[in-house]
């Protein structure tokens, strides 16, 4: 499947801004998507098509993309935002794939 | 409210075929607007995309699994299914089914609603 690269972990204090990056060769041409997974739960879509936020997702979650890198930003991170975050996209051959995941710690 | 629920054996013997079903409620699987997707996650590891299937039968599979994967849709039961052949211990994972949407560029299929997942262990 398509390989996307994420940092293994990000740590911030409550109220700070957390940024999680995702790099992939096809990202200049393809949208990035972001999923949040809390312990023992199924993933939840938090950003789609680089910058769009599904209904019910707090405004502190935002996304951007430039060149080969997409970024998920959590402005004013809260303890409840802790979990694993995965980016997702596709390459030029329609091979879809997830990044390796980033564990966000807020403490 | 759209809901998906995975079902199937929790234990499969090595070399056998893993078979799972996803039952969809709240939307018709034959509506034509959606893809139907399988994803898996080994314990303590990341998510792995398995494949998408459309009601027409069109499929996209992970190249690393393509030779062993078969997916299908049963519109009469509002279900879709996954078969993974010749399993080994490496196929032990939580398996998720999900609803897929095509993006506005008509390129990527992304998942907006997920089931809770079902654990499958491959062991003799």
The model's pLDDT over B37-62, given as tens digits with 9 standing for 90+, comes to 999 999 999 999 999 999 888 899 99
Assess whether pLDDT exceeds 80 at residue B32: no
How far is CA A23 from its chain centroid?
11
* CB-CB neighbors (< 8 A) of A89 in chain B: 108
* CB-CB neighbors (< 8 A) of B115 in chain A: 42
Assess whether pLDDT exceeds 90 at residue A77: yes
Residues A43, B112: Cα–Cα separation, whole Å: 9
Count of residues for chain B? Answer: 124
Buried b or exposed e, range B28-55, using 16+ CB within 10 angstroms: ebeeeebbbbbbbbeeeeebbbbbbbbb
- Average pLDDT on A5-31 reads 97
Show Cβ contacts of residue A103 under 8 Å, excluding neighbours closer than 6 positions.
A8, A9, A10, A83, A84, A85
Strands B11-12 and B118-122: parallel
Among B46, B112, B115, whose Cβ lies nearest the Cβ of A100?
B46
- B 73-102 residues with CB below 8 A of A? 96
Q: pLDDT category, B106, cuts 50, 70, 90? A: confident
- pLDDT, residue B103, reads 86
* CB-CB neighbors (< 8 A) of A44 in chain B: 114
Residues A31, A50: Cα–Cα separation, whole Å: 5
Q: pLDDT category, B31, cuts 50, 70, 90? A: confident
């Amino acid at each position: 499947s398509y390989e996307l690269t994420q940092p293994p972990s990000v740590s911030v204090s409550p109220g700070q801004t957390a940024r999680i990056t995702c790099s992939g060769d096809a990202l200049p041409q393809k949208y990035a998507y972001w999923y949040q997974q809390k312990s023992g739960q199924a993933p939840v879509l938090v950003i789609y098509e680089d910058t769009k936020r599904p209904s019910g997702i707090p405004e502190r979650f935002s996304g951007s993309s430039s060149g080969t890198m997409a970024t998920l930003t959590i402005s004013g991170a809260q303890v409840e935002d802790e979990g694993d975050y995965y980016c997702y996209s596709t390459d030029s051959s329609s091979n879809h794939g997830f990044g390796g995941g980033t564990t966000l710690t807020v403490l | 409210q759209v809901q998906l629920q995975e079902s199937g054996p929790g234990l499969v013997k090595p070399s056998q075929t893993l078979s799972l079903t996803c039952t969809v409620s709240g939307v018709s699987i034959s509506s034509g607007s959606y893809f139907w997707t399988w994803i898996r996650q080994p314990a303590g590891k990341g998510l792995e995309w398995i494949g998408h299937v459309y009601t027409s039968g069109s499929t996209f599979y992970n190249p690393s699994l393509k030779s062993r994967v078969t997916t299908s849709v049963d519109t009469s039961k509002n279900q879709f299914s996954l078969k993974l052949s010749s399993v080994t211990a490496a196929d032990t994972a939580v398996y998720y089914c999900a609803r897929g949407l095509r993006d506005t560029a008509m390129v990527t299929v992304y998942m907006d609603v997920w089931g809770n997942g079902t654990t499958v262990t491959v062991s003799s």
